[in-house]
C-alpha cells in the first residue's frame, strides 16, 4: 500500500476529513471512509483510520470534570460496544468487500437523512438499563464491519439529553473506546499490517492541519449551510456506493 498514489490519497483524504470536522464539529471518520473506500477495501480504510481516530479524541475524552461520572453511567454502553466490535470485525474478516461497501452506503444515507431532518428522539428514561447495551452492541457490530458507530450508537447518546459539555466529553470517551478496541481487534484478526500503521501515522499531520484550517474558517462561512451541503452530498455518495456494490442490481 505504500505507493506514491496511496500516500497522496491518504494525505488529501485526512486533510479534507479534518477540515470538515474543524468546520462543523463532526464528519472525520465518515469523510475518510467514504473517500478511501473508493480506492481500497473498507477493511483497509478502517485500518488506516485507527491511529488518527485515537489521537484526535484523547483531548476531547479527558478535557472536563465529568470523566468519572460519565464512565460510571456509560460503562454498560461501552462494554457492549467492545463486544459488538469484536463480533463485527470477525464478520468483516470473512466478508465480501462489495457487501461492506453496500452496508456503508446504506448507513451513510440513513445518517445523512437523519442529520438533515433532525428528529428529536425520546429519552430512554427508565429503559436506559437495557437500551444502552442494546444500542451500543448493535452499533458496535456495525462499527466493526464499516467503521460507522452513529446508527444507533451516537443517536442513543443524543437521546440522553446530556448538557453540551458533558455530551462532547461522552463522545470523546466513546470514540477512544471504539478506536482503541478496533485497533486491537484488527491486529488480532491480522487485518492491521505494518503498511496500515505507517499510513495511519502519516495521516496524523494532515488531519490536524485540516482541523486547524476548518476552525480558522468556521466563522467565515455559514456553518448551517455547509452542514446541509455536506449531508446532501453524503446521501448521493451513499446511493452511489450502494449502486456500485451491485446491491440494487
Q: What distance in Å separates the CA atoms of residue 53 and residue 47, rounded to the nearest whole number?
A: 10
pLDDT band per the 50, 70, 90 thresholds, residue 234:
confident
Q: What distance in Å separates the CA atoms of residue 144 and residue 192, rounded to the nearest whole number?
A: 13
Residue 247, pLDDT score: 57
Between 175 and 121, name the one with better pLDDT. 175
Residue 192, pLDDT score: 94
Q: What distance in Å separates the CA atoms of residue 203 and residue 80, rounded to the nearest whole number?
A: 29
132-160 residue pLDDT tens? 999 999 999 999 999 889 888 988 998 99
Residue 24, pLDDT score: 76
Residue 111, pLDDT score: 86
Residue 165, pLDDT score: 83
Return the number of other C-beta atoms located less than 10 Å from residue 242's C-beta: 19
Q: What distance in Å separates the CA atoms of residue 134 and residue 112, rounded to the nearest whole number?
A: 22
Q: What distance in Å separates the CA atoms of residue 124 and residue 48, rounded to the nearest whole number?
A: 35
Length of the chain: 249
178-222 residue pLDDT tens? 999 999 999 999 999 999 999 999 999 999 999 899 888 877 878
Residue 180, pLDDT score: 93
CB 60 within 8 Å of CB 120:
no
Return the number of other C-beta atoms located less than 10 Å from residue 123's C-beta: 13
Between 2 and 138, name the one with better pLDDT. 138
Say how many Å lie between the first and final Cα of the chain, rounded.
Answer: 31
23-75 residue pLDDT tens? 876 778 888 988 898 888 889 999 999 999 888 888 778 888 899 999 999 99
Q: What distance in Å separates the CA atoms of residue 158 and residue 166, rounded to the nearest whole number?
A: 11
Peptide bond into 170 cis (omega under 30): no
With b meaning 16 or more CB within 10 Å and e meaning fewer, what string describes 71-88? eebbebbbbbbbbbbbbb
Amino acid at each position: 500500500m505504500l505507493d506514491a498514489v496511496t500516500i497522496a490519497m491518504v494525505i488529501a483524504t485526512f486533510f479534507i476529513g479534518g477540515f470538515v470536522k474543524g468546520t462543523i464539529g463532526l464528519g472525520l471518520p465518515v469523510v475518510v471512509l467514504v473517500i478511501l473506500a473508493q480506492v481500497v477495501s473498507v477493511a483497509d480504510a478502517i485500518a488506516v483510520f485507527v491511529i488518527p481516530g485515537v489521537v484526535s479524541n484523547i483531548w476531547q475524552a479527558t478535557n472536563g470534570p465529568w470523566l468519572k461520572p460519565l464512565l460510571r453511567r456509560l460503562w454498560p454502553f461501552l462494554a457492549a460496544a467492545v463486544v459488538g466490535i469484536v463480533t463485527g470485525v470477525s464478520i468483516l474478516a470473512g466478508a465480501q468487500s462489495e457487501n461492506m461497501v453496500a452496508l456503508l452506503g446504506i448507513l451513510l444515507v440513513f445518517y445523512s437523512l437523519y442529520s438533515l431532518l433532525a428528529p428529536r428522539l425520546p429519552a430512554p428514561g427508565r429503559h436506559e438499563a437495557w437500551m444502552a447495551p442494546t444500542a451500543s452492541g448493535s452499533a458496535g457490530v456495525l462499527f466493526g464491519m464499516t467503521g460507522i458507530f452513529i446508527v444507533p450508537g451516537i443517536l442513543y447518546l443524543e437521546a440522553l439529553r446530556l448538557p453540551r459539555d458533558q455530551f462532547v466529553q461522552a463522545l470523546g470517551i466513546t470514540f477512544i473506546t471504539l478506536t482503541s478496541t478496533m485497533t486491537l481487534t484488527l491486529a488480532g484478526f491480522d487485518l492491521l499490517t505494518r503498511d496500515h500503521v505507517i499510513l495511519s501515522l502519516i495521516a496524523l499531520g494532515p488531519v490536524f492541519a485540516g482541523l486547524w484550517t476548518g476552525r480558522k474558517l468556521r466563522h467565515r462561512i455559514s456553518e448551517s449551510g455547509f452542514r446541509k451541503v455536506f449531508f446532501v452530498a453524503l446521501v448521493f455518495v451513499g446511493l452511489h456506493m450502494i449502486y456500485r456494490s451491485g446491491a440494487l442490481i
